[in-house]
Structure 1
Amino acid sequence: MSDITAREPSTVFEFEQHTVRGAFNAAFFRVMDPYIERNLRRHKQRVFAGLPSEVVEIGPGVGANLRYLPAGGTLVAVEPNRSMRGPLRDAAQRVGVRLDLRERMAEQTGLPDGSADCVISSLVLCSVQDPAAVLAEVRRILRPGGTFRFLEHVAGADGTATRAAQRILRRPWAWTFEGCSCERDLEGAIRSAGFESVSIERYRIRTPFVPFNTHIAGIARA
């Protein structure tokens, strides 16, 4: 990945680190990794199959997706939450992946135009400040023909018990998980983001965390 940085957009996005919730979320996702991985593994194996040797990941957290990178590969990690960085470095070292850590927001990665063959995300677009800006940034840094590979939890269908639970729990959910929204139409956002092609699978997992049960996974090509 080139060290040349792109021109910054006029809108500035800032991440406000919360001391308690930041540390809580880092610990939560480390502890819950086996459980989340068990629920999402089949979909991750499909979407992340054949990743190239260098991958950009927005919001890699504590490194849940490092296991899908080839050994000896490089992860360009765009991660603003400093509580995640120590566990992420440790996880990268364990699996033999080189870590290029960028302490940036997903809306403004600072990476050059057309510099990435692949960008990945999982359980990230729910919590970014501006999903449309993030998707525009992903398109900007992807080379023509490059892929954006994603797994995200989304709003349930109107009239369902899941959707009702998401409405009821949205505020405590967002507070606990640092702005995470369980009500976003991320499928619509991705389909309207201007990618050349988009393939999306909808699926459901069954967990006690009801707002988290409705998901999408797919690949968008620049």
Structure 2
Amino acid sequence: MIDATPTSAPTAFELHRGRGPFNAAFFRVMGPYLQRTLRPRKQRVFADLPARVVEIGPGVGANLPYLPPGGTLVALEPNRHMHSPLRSAAHRHGVRLELHESMAERSGLPDHSVDAVISSLVLCSVDEPAEVLAEIRRILRPGATFRFVEHVEAGHGTFTRAAQRALRRPWAWVFEGCSCERDLEQSIRAAGFETVDIERYRVHSPFLPFNTHIAGIARA
């Protein structure tokens, strides 16, 4: 079942007539490749999700296969170009969709109302990761989990780090603010969660700035 009506008004997200459709198409086309690349970590950190899950920036629905059939995805997705493929994907997977156009920094959800928040390849592009993480902690019930699979800055002095630095401006422009140079592991560890379990790993893709990653679970 799908509730196809957005439940909150758009906020400060800037819809770009070129980049928005491009990113929606890019992630539809690259979805199978990204799934093969990231599946082992997603299977670990997204295992046994509850029936109702909040996802920040679900895009075209890459993480819907990890939700239980018949479950509910509360989607915080301000890019309207993602909405149509996200609705279609929710329908295919038998997941009820509650679609919000709100930004991750201001979800509009009640305090301590959520059992799980998930994200993948999103914290790189939000304006203020610390604000997003504070919002996630605010809406999570005590003991609930934030589960994440994100790409991060490479080690200093490495070739990958040099490539991230050299390509940071065109990369950010094409991928709507995505930064290759964020130390998201430190951001998550500093966000005030009770426990944080993080695995660092590397993928091997043609997109060199994208190849350094973390996956883990933080408990409120």
In 2: Cα distance, 1:91 partner to 1:31 partner: 14
TM-score, scaled to structure 2 = 0.95
How far does the alpha carbon of each residue in 1:36-91 deviate from its partner, in whole angstroms, 9 at most, with x for none? 00000000000000000000000000000000000000000000000000000000
Deviation at 1:214, TM superposition (A): 0.0
Question: Where does the alignment leave 5 or more consecutive residues of structure 1 unmatched?
Answer: 6-12
How far does the alpha carbon of each residue in 1:17-47 deviate from its partner, in whole angstroms, 9 at most, with x for none? 1111000000000000000000000000000
Question: Where does the alignment leave 5 or more consecutive residues of structure 2 unmatched?
Answer: 1-6
Amino acid at match of 1:101: L
Alignment-derived partner of residue 32 in structure 1: 30
Alignment-derived partner of residue 39 in structure 2: 41
Alignment-derived partner of residue 15 in structure 2: 17
Alignment-derived partner of residue 66 in structure 1: 64
Amino acid at match of 1:59: G
How far does the alpha carbon of each residue in 1:127-172 deviate from its partner, in whole angstroms, 9 at most, with x for none? 0000000000000000000000000000000000000000000000
Shift >4 Å, 4+ stretches: none
Q: What pairs with 1:1-222 in structure 2 (closer than 5 Å)? A: 14-222=12-220
In 1: Cα distance, 2:101 partner to 2:172 partner: 22
Deviation at 1:202, TM superposition (A): 0.1
In 2: Cα distance, 1:109 partner to 1:220 partner: 19
In 2: Cα distance, 1:83 partner to 1:207 partner: 26
Deviation at 1:14, TM superposition (A): 1.2
Identity percentage of aligned residues: 74
SS in 2 for 1:60: coil
Amino acid at match of 2:199: E
How far does the alpha carbon of each residue in 1:73-132 deviate from its partner, in whole angstroms, 9 at most, with x for none? 000000000000000000000010000001100000000000100000000000000000
Alignment-derived partner of residue 9 in structure 1: none
Alignment-derived partner of residue 4 in structure 2: none
In 1: Cα distance, 2:209 partner to 2:99 partner: 31
Amino acid at match of 1:124: V
Amino acid at match of 1:28: F
